[in-house]
Amino acid sequence: MKTTLHEIPLERRTLHGHFSRDLEPVAEVRPGDVVRFATLDAGWGLEPPREDGSQRERFSPLDEELDAGHALIGPLAVLGAVAGQTLAVGIEEVRVGPFGWSVAGGWSTPLNDRLGVGEGESRVLAWELDADAAVGRDREGREVSLAPFLGVLGMPPPEPGVHATGPPRAWGGNLDCKELVAGTTLFLPIPVDGALFSAGDGHARQGDGEVSSTAIECPLERAQLSLSLRDDFELAAPIARTRDSWLAFGLGESLDEAAGNAVEGMLRLMERELELERRDALALASVVVDLRITQVVNGVQGVHAVLHDDAIR
């Protein structure tokens, strides 16, 4: 079957700031089709932070309740998708826009309060981004190399109503995993018929943990994803395939719970991919699988387990 490229325009009709199974899809795609789009930054901004600290220009019109979350493109309905299948999201390209920003402190979170930055003014770093050179430079002249990815890739909960974009869920969403760069495929359990997939929250670079609550938040000049269906395995939580490794995502109210769920997901992968009995899989996992903190700032804690292809010979 011929693959179709769908260009999704960046406009009010295609943007939303919450998850809901009741949102009308902005486009229908066949399995295997490719979608291309631009995004706003997570805060719906049209410009970088201003040096005088005044309010920057944001996209309008905005519904302060329904658009309180990340600026997301979608939802996209995948023809033939039914709840219980697996959606394969092939990340083909992520190209940053011209600016980005990072924030530290200024509001109360458990981590900010522990670090003593929950009160008082926030510290904002504004970044100039060079997509071709893959370099970001802040106003102090500090430079970092860029590794852009989409922080939010996911689908709505099966329950009706309006759901915040902040916490990641079994069906994806705000995973904030820095490994999900171009060349990676993310596999998600489908919660609702049609899938209703959305994406956004461009990150030019992020460290594991995203400890200040932000990465280099940025608009994306272009993102390109392929959307396919898989019937050959069932998932309870996200997994991903990078160029050289498997990832299994664990979410939980605590890091202990998230780590346990990540290990569970990795053991299932090892049982399926390597045809291992569970006790052998666990014994090997303790030797060759790395646990990394995905993020600690989205209400739900995230850990991902990593198994490199060359770890077992």
Would residue 237 count as lying in a domain? no
pLDDT reported for residue 111 = 86
Contacts of 114 (CB under 8 A, 6+ apart): none
Q: Are residues 95 and 223 in the same domain?
A: yes
Q: Are residues 59 and 205 in the same domain?
A: yes
**What range defines the domain where residue 154 resides?**
5-176+191-230
**Displacement of CA 225 from its chain's centroid (Å):** 13
Would residue 182 count as lying in a domain? no
- pLDDT tens column, 205-221: 999 999 999 999 999 99
Give 162: exposed, middle or buried? Use CB within 10 Å, 0-12, 13-18, 19+.
middle
- Rounded to an integer, what distance in angstroms lies between the CA atom of residue 109 and that of residue 165? 17
- Can you read off the two tokens belonging to residue 169? 């869920």
- pLDDT tens column, 60-101: 999 999 999 999 999 999 999 999 999 999 999 999 999 999
**Displacement of CA 202 from its chain's centroid (Å):** 8
For residue 69, what is the domain's CATH number?
Answer: 2.60.120.580
Kindly calculate the radius of gyration of the chain based on its CA atoms and give it in whole angstroms: 19
- Can you read off the two tokens belonging to residue 173? 């969403």
As for how many domains the chain has, the answer is: 2
For residue 287, what is the domain's CATH number?
Answer: 3.10.28.20
- pLDDT tens column, 15-59: 999 999 999 999 999 999 999 999 999 999 999 888 887 889 999
Would residue 154 count as lying in a domain? yes
Q: Are residues 147 and 265 in the same domain?
A: no
Pairing assessment for the beta strands 301-308 and 245-252 based on DSSP bridges: antiparallel
Q: Are residues 220 and 101 in the same domain?
A: yes
Q: Are residues 23 and 141 in the same domain?
A: yes
- Rounded to an integer, what distance in angstroms lies between the CA atom of residue 256 and that of residue 175? 17
With 0.75 as the threshold, say if the pTM is over it.
Answer: yes
Going by pLDDT thresholds of 50, 70 and 90, the confidence category of residue 1 is low
- pLDDT tens column, 155-183: 999 999 999 999 999 999 999 999 999 99
Q: Are residues 54 and 91 in the same domain?
A: yes
Would residue 30 count as lying in a domain? yes
Contacts of 200 (CB under 8 A, 6+ apart): 39, 40, 42, 70, 71, 72, 73, 150, 151, 152
Would residue 251 count as lying in a domain? yes
Q: Are residues 47 and 101 in the same domain?
A: yes
Q: Are residues 160 and 70 in the same domain?
A: yes
- Rounded to an integer, what distance in angstroms lies between the CA atom of residue 154 and that of residue 159? 15
Q: Are residues 118 and 172 in the same domain?
A: yes
pLDDT reported for residue 86 = 98
In the predicted model, is pLDDT for residue 274 greater than 80? Answer: yes
pLDDT reported for residue 51 = 80
Q: Are residues 158 and 306 in the same domain?
A: no
